[in-house]
Structure 1
Amino acid sequence: MTEIDWKTKLLAMKRDLQATDSAAKDSRGAVVELDQSRVGRLSRMDALQSQAMNNAIAVRRQQMLSRLNSALERIEAEDFGYCLECGDEISAKRLELDPTVCFCTQCAKA
Structure 2
Amino acid sequence: MDKEAYAALLKRFRPRLEQELAEIDRLSMENESWSAPVELDQQSVGRVSRMDAMQMQAMSQAVQRRRTQRRHQLLQAFKRMNEGEFGYCAECGEEIPSGRLDVDPTFSACVRCAT
Calculate the TM-score normalised by the size of structure 2. Answer: 0.86
Check if 1:85 corresponds to 2:76: no
Unaligned runs of 5+ in 2: 1-7
- 2:5 match: none
- 2:113 match: 107
- 2:25 match: 18
Alpha-carbon distance in structure 2 between the residues aligned to 1:37 and 1:20: 32
**3-state DSSP class of the match of 1:81?**
coil
Unaligned runs of 5+ in 1: none
Alpha-carbon distance in structure 2 between the residues aligned to 1:62 and 1:93: 25
- 2:77 match: 71
- 2:34 match: 27
- Count, aligned residues: 108
Root-mean-square deviation (CA, aligned residues, Å) is 1.3
2:10 is matched by which residue type in structure 1?
A: E
Identity value in percent: 39
Deviations 1:13-47 (A, max 9, x none): 11111111111111112x31223343222211111
Calculate the TM-score normalised by the size of structure 1. Answer: 0.89
Deviations 1:31-74 (A, max 9, x none): 31223343222211111110011011111111111100000010
